[in-house]
Homo-oligomer: A and B are copies of this chain.
Amino acid sequence: MSSTLSLLEEEFNFVGKRVPKYDAAQKVAGAAKYMIDLKLPGMLYGKILRSRYPHARILSIDKTKAEQLPGVIAVITAKDVPRIRFGFMKDNMPLKEEFVLSCRDEIAAVAAVDEETAERAIELIEVEYEPLPALFDPLKAMENGAPILHRELKSNVVDLGLNFKKGDVSEPFRSSEYVVVEGTYRIGFITHTALGTMGALAHYEPSGMLNIWANTQSPFLYQRELAQALGIDPSRVRVIQPSIGGSFGRGMDLYPPDIIASLLSMKTLRPVKILFRRDEDLANSPTRQPAIFKIKTAATMEGKLVARSVEAILDVGPYISWGAFDARVMMATATGQYVVPNVEFTSKHVYTNNPYSGTMRGAGNPQINFAIETQMDILSEKLGIDPVEFRIMNANRPGYVTPQGMRITTCSMEETLRIAEREIGWRGRHKAGKSVGIGFASLFHVAGGARVYRSDGCGTIVKLDDFGTVTVITGASEIGTGSDTAITQIVAEELSIPLSKVRLVNDDASVRPWDVGIHASRMTFVGGNSALMAARKAKEKLLRLASEYLQERYEDLRIKDGMIFSKRNSSKSVEYDKLLRRAHFREGGDVIVASHFYDPPNQMADEKTQSGNISATYGFGTQAVLVEVDEETGKVTVKKVVAVHDAGRIINPLGAEGQVQGGIVMAMSWALTEELILDGGLVVNNSLADYKLPTAAEIPDIKVIFVGEPDPEGPFGAKGVGEHGCIPTAAAIANAIYDAVCVRLYELPMTPERVLKAIKNSKAS
Interface residues of A (CB under 8 A from B): 23, 25-26, 28-29, 31, 37, 39, 41, 205-208, 220, 224, 227, 233-235, 269, 451, 454-455, 457, 459, 461, 463, 465-469, 471, 473, 500-501, 503, 505, 510-511, 513-514, 584-591, 593, 595, 597, 599, 601-604
A503 to B590, CA, bound (A): 24
Residue from A41, A205, A235 having most chain B Cβ neighbours under 10 A: A235
Q: Is the CB of A584 within 8 A of B455?
A: yes
**When the two chains form their complex, are residues B595 and A589 in contact, meaning their CB atoms are under 8 A apart?**
no
Tell me which of A26, A29, A451, A455 has the highest count of chain B C-beta atoms within 10 A of its own C-beta: A455
B467 in contact with A503 (CB, 8 Å): no
On whether the beta carbons of B510 and A591 are closer than 8 Å, the reply is no
In the bound complex, residues from chain B placing their C-beta under 8 Å from that of A455 are: 584-586, 589
Residues of B within 8 A of A585 (CB): 454-455
What are 16 of the A-B contact pairs (CB < 8 Å)?
A29-B206, A220-B465, A224-B467, A234-B466, A235-B503, A454-B584, A454-B585, A454-B589, A459-B593, A463-B511, A463-B513, A471-B510, A587-B599, A587-B601, A588-B599, A588-B601
B41/A39 in contact, CB under 8 A = yes
User: How many copies are assembled?
Assistant: 2
A588 / chain B contacts, CB cutoff of 8 Å: 599, 601
Note all chain B residues with C-beta closer than 8 A to A468.
Answer: 235
* Contact, CB under 8 Å: A597 / B587: no
Contact in complex: B467, A207 (CB < 8 Å) = no
Nearest B residue to A587 by beta-carbon distance?
B603
Distance between A515 CB and nearest chain B CB, rounded to angstroms: 10
Known contacts A23-B207, A41-B39, A514 near B31 by CB under 8 Å: no
- Whether B511 pairs with A591 at a CB distance below 8 angstroms is no
Whether B505 pairs with A511 at a CB distance below 8 angstroms is yes
Are A31 and B589 closer than 8 Å at their CB atoms?
no
A91 smallest CB distance to B (angstroms) = 23
- Give 10 closest A-B pairs by Cβ, nearest first: A29-B206, A454-B585, A235-B469, A593-B595, A25-B207, A234-B467, A589-B599, A235-B467, A26-B207, A455-B589
Chain B residues, Cβ within 8 Å of A205: 25-26, 29, 31
Dominant secondary structure at the A interface: loop
Contact between B37 and A41 (Cβ–Cβ < 8 Å)?
yes
Asked if residues B601 and A597 are in contact (CB atoms below 8 Å), the reply is no
Per the bound structure, the CA–CA distance linking A206 and B28 in Å amounts to 9
Q: Can you name the residue of chain B whose Cβ is closest to the Cβ of A596?
A: B593
**CB-CB < 8 A to A26: which residues of B?**
205-207
Q: How far is the CA of A233 from the CA of B465 in the complex (A)?
A: 13
Given A31-B207, A206-B31, A503-B510: A597 in contact with B603 (beta carbons within 8 A): no
How far, in angstroms, from A586 to B463 measured CA to CA in the complex?
27
A522 CB, nearest partner CB in chain B, Å: 15
With both chains docked as a complex, state the minimum distance between the C-beta of A686 and any C-beta of chain B, in angstroms.
28
Query: Complex formed: what's the CA distance from A604 to B586 in Å?
Result: 9
- Inter-chain contact A457/B510, CB cutoff 8 Å: no
Q: Which residues of B contact A505 (CB under 8 A)?
A: 510-511
When the two chains form their complex, are residues A597 and B589 in contact, meaning their CB atoms are under 8 A apart? yes
Given contacts A31-B207, A466-B224, contact A500 B23 (CB under 8 A): no
Contacts A41-B37, A455-B585 hold; do A513 and B591 have CB atoms under 8 A apart?
yes
- Report which residue of A25, A207, A501 has the largest number of chain B beta carbons within 10 angstroms of its beta carbon: A207
Knowing A235-B503, A599-B590 are in contact, say whether A25-B206 is a contact too (CB < 8 A). Answer: yes
Complex CA gap A599/B466 in Å reads 16
Closest chain B CB from A226 CB (angstroms) = 12
Residues from chain B with Cβ under 8 Å of A28 in the complex: 206
A602: which B residues are within 8 A, CB to CB? Answer: 587
Is the pair B587, A451 in contact by a Cβ cutoff of 8 Å? Answer: yes
Q: If the complex has contacts A206-B31, A207-B26, A467-B233, are A514 and B224 also in contact, measured as CB distance less than 8 A? A: no
A207–B587 Cα distance when bound, in Å, is 37
Residues of B within 8 A of A466 (CB): 220, 224, 234, 514
Cβ contacts under 8 Å, A599 to chain B: 587-590
Return A41 CB to nearest CB of chain B, in Å.
Answer: 6
Residue of B nearest to A593 (CB): B595
Given B208, B469, B513, which contacts A593 in the complex, CB threshold below 8 Å? B513
User: Given the complex of chains A and B, what is the CA–CA distance between A741 and B503 in angstroms?
Assistant: 65
A588 to B456, CA, bound (A): 9
- Determine if A465 and B514 form an interchain contact, defined as CB atoms under 8 angstroms apart: yes
Q: Which residues of B contact A467 (CB under 8 A)?
A: 224, 227, 233-235
Chain B residues with Cβ below 8 Å from A591 are: 457, 459, 513-514, 597
Closest residue of chain B to A534, judged by CB? B593
Are the CB atoms of A500 and B586 closer together than 8 Å?
Answer: no
Chain B residues in 8 Å Cβ range of A501: 235
By a CB distance below 8 angstroms, the chain B residues around A269 are 29, 31
**Closest chain B residue to A39, Cβ basis:** B41
Q: Which residues of B contact A514 (CB under 8 A)?
A: 465-466, 584, 591
Q: Which residue of B lies closest to A28 (CB)?
A: B206
Bound-state CA distance A467–B206 (Å) is 21
Query: Chain B: which residue is nearest A463 at the CB level?
Result: B513
State in angstroms the CA–CA spacing of A235 and B206 once bound together: 35
